[in-house]
Amino acid sequence: RAADMSDIRALGELPQLTEVALDGNPVAQDENGVPWPHYRGLLLELCPRLQQLDLKAVGGEERQQLAVAIQRMAASQERVDLINQVKTEWALNMEHRRGGQDL
């Protein structure tokens, strides 16, 4: 029984794992029992050799969609990081300019 995300991460340390069924476990659903939509993708990312997940075959198309989604998230995070870096540099520059005027 997988109770939390640390249990899921531990599965990623099993390189020969090809089948796992976690449906009905707390990590696979929210507090209302509704299946968590990203749990399947997370497991496939952590366990790249899975061939069956929750008694359903893992296909190439699903892996392709996951790869695209991960790439989009990474690109989005890079944009956020760049924007934050520019904001920080701008704020430091403005602070430096104000400091020079106060002298």
Domain that includes residue 47, residue range:
1-58
- Tally of domains within the chain: 2
pLDDT digits (tens, 9 = 90+) for 53-92: 999 999 989 888 888 888 888 888 888 888 888 888 888 8
Amino acid code (one letter) for 31? E
Residue 45 has pLDDT above 70, yes or no: yes
Dihedral sign from CA coordinates of 9, 11, 13, 15: negative
pTM over 0.85: no
Same domain for 31 and 3: yes
The helix (H) or strand (E) run that includes residue 53 is: strand 52-53
Same domain for 97 and 81: yes
- What is the reported pLDDT for 3? 62
pLDDT band, very low/low/confident/very high, at 2 (cuts 50, 70, 90): low
Same domain for 47 and 21: yes
